[in-house]
Structure 1
Amino acid sequence: MLHSLPLLILILIFVAAVAVVWLAGIYLSSTTDEMDDRFKLGQALGGMLFLAITTNLPEIAITASAALSHNLEIAVGNILGGIAIQTVVLVLFDVVGLWRKDALSYYAASLQLVLEGGLVIAVLLLTIMGTQLPSSLVFLRITPATLLITITWIVGVWLIGKARKDLPWQEKGVPEEVLHGERSDRKKKKIQHWNTVHIVLVFLAAALFTLVAGVALEESGNEIANQIGMSGVVFGSTILALATALPEISTGLASIKLKAYNLAFSDIFGGNAFLPVLFLLATLLSGEAVLPKAQKADLYLAALGGVLTIIYIYGLIFRPKRQILHMGIDSLLVLICYVLGILGLVTFAR
């Protein structure tokens, strides 16, 4: 539908979609934070179940559309292409959200987040392994790899929920404002006076706006790239991927403003762990094995996302307080590795 529109109209649609996604993200973060408290889920699990899945609604819609039209390469690229850049979004949270405070991984003191990062690595490895299986392995519109990825995600979420009460770990050296501090945000206080039904309805409305505006953002951004001659795997994995990560950026910065640091981390890790589950949806809708359609660039970006996640896992375990260039050491390493990774991608994507 957007192919026939002039460039100026596409840019206006893109900007409007950015504004809607940004505003919806603020409400998503605030209502999720309050639902975590009321349903006693905790920020890590609540962020993984509510925020991470909701901010990926545009990816769900585009994956479903690509699968129904049998554009399976688009479905694979949409799922794997954004994981690395979404991990780099944590660098932005570190720099912009905390600025001259200690590193973000120091404040996000939770081994549940380490488990979430481990789940990201697990589903990415299963995805890469699944790309090597023959495309004829389809039974009842399901392939073994996509089924195993989904089961792994479900078990991982269950273990993360279990770890909230049964994990034998001491929160030593956690900043007081994280353990006991009140989150003094005007919007937070306003939402606390809403009843639960009101909060859920606002959350669902913000999710709907995120879905519609997110799809408009991705489609208009892709068409703008085509019209100005910037299409290609490198553009898709950088500029376009960053644009489609706007829901996570908006919700993450809003979470940090609420001092809900675990929620910000969990939004990214939870979203990255959930994205490969969409391969099952794509396989069910298309009736074909989707993973064997993966290109070299898709596998490369999936591996890069895994490397960046591992760096943050180490940051969450060691929790370095020191900052360099207004960011934690782990964030700086993630940024350097991502830049080097994209330069490596250029060498074989030309």
Structure 2
Amino acid sequence: MEHLTGTLALTFATFAISAFSVWVAGARLAYLADALSDRMKLAKSVVGLVFLSTATSLPEIATTLTAAVQEARALVLNNLFGGIALQTAILAMSDFWAHGAITNYPRKANHALEATLLVLMLGVVIVVLMLGEPLSFGGVGIGSVIIALVYAGALWLLRTYDGANDWVPVDLPDPDPLPFPAPTGLADASTPNLITQALIACGAILVFGFLLVISAERLAVQTGLGTSFVGVTLLAAATSLPELTTSITAVRMGAYTLAISNIFGSNLIMLVLVFPADILFRDGPILRTDAPMVIASLGFAIVVTAIFLTGLLIRRKPKVGAVGVDSVLVLISFAASLFVYYQLR
């Protein structure tokens, strides 16, 4: 018993140190992404959707592909799909650092389009699950291929739409970001230096994020909670920590579009990761499952995304204190999802 307690304490310590390291690297990456978007004259929504979301998804990518090779179907799917509701809840939590509801600030329909395409992809995944992946080629299901194609089409549409001006909001509050100075010397740093720092931050997120995942898996065994429940809760939280720190930092800087695109972009990546996972998973199509927790996590992902989509479309929404009611509803929905996951474990 004493040995087990010591091992558990060591696992918790590894988890805590890795979490702190990911937090620091993620916060720095948010500053660097904001500086690079200004330096290279790129829209912050594009930087958040493509660069920041990919960088903060590195732990999910490493975890998913490793678990797929180990043929841990439940861990792969629960981590990916459970992480979507969690990351959307992260965006809701970052609303506490914004001036007013965060969904009031976007001036274009990019984020509403991101949310709509995310709901579309979630619907496709549910249909594939219900059909049980009837067709496969070399062990790879046709459904995961379709998901990858839909993702590619979504990226193309979002990139094309970024320059459009056919949706113009009227009479909106002017953005009033919190005063939060960037790190000293960032504005004077050269572009190669900024890129180098960003790569170092990405490397730190990957390494410590992977340690975070390993310690979370060990906690699942040592605490007896099981991989399904831990996969959809603790493991999803561990791999979503970079999104948490980058989103909060971006909002504190007033880079609201960067924060929103970071989360929606990460959620889209969570879905398309099904395709490479299916290639590495050799025990048949990875989406050939009827696990209730997988279906529930997809359902909650649709709920929280639809709530924020509604918030993006309804500009004058009520607030609860300084937080938008949409963020409050997302947090309530996420809390409900945890209760449901625990019942289904």
Does 2:248 correspond to 1:266? no
Name 1:104's counterpart in structure 2: 102
Name 1:194's counterpart in structure 2: 189
Letter in 2 for 1:280: F
Q: 1:258 to 1:213 in 2, by over 3 A?
A: same
Does 2:301 correspond to 1:300? no
Candidates 333, 338, 344, aligned match of 1:337: 333
- Looking at structure 1, the residues matched to 199 and 216 of structure 2 have their Cα atoms a distance apart, in angstroms, of 25
Letter in 1 for 2:330: V
- Looking at structure 1, the residues matched to 223 and 128 of structure 2 have their Cα atoms a distance apart, in angstroms, of 35
Aligned residues: 341
Letter in 2 for 1:198: N
1:1-350 pair list within 5 angstroms? 6-95=7-96, 97-98=97-98, 101-135=99-133, 137-140=135-138, 142-177=140-175, 185-187=181-183, 190-231=185-226, 233-287=228-282, 288-293=284-289, 295-320=291-316, 322-347=318-343, 349=344
* C-alpha distance after superposition, 1:209-230 (max 9, x if no partner): 1111111112212312432333
- Looking at structure 2, the residues matched to 108 and 333 of structure 1 have their Cα atoms a distance apart, in angstroms, of 20
- Looking at structure 2, the residues matched to 35 and 294 of structure 1 have their Cα atoms a distance apart, in angstroms, of 44
Most deviating of 192-201 and 57-66? 192-201
Flag structure 2 segments of 5+ consecutive residues without an equivalent.
none
- Looking at structure 1, the residues matched to 175 and 322 of structure 2 have their Cα atoms a distance apart, in angstroms, of 20
Q: Percent identity?
A: 29
Q: 1:196 to 1:68 in 2, by over 3 A?
A: same
Superposed displacement of residue 346, structure 1: 4.0
Flag structure 1 segments of 5+ consecutive residues without an equivalent.
none
Q: Secondary structure at the match of 2:163?
A: helix
- Looking at structure 2, the residues matched to 232 and 310 of structure 1 have their Cα atoms a distance apart, in angstroms, of 28
- Looking at structure 1, the residues matched to 178 and 224 of structure 2 have their Cα atoms a distance apart, in angstroms, of 50
Q: 1:223 to 1:205 in 2, by over 3 A?
A: same
TM value normalised by structure 1:
0.89
Most deviating of 279-288 and 225-234? 225-234
> Is the 8 Å Cα contact of residues 90 and 265 (structure 1) preserved in structure 2?
yes
Q: Secondary structure at the match of 1:185?
A: coil
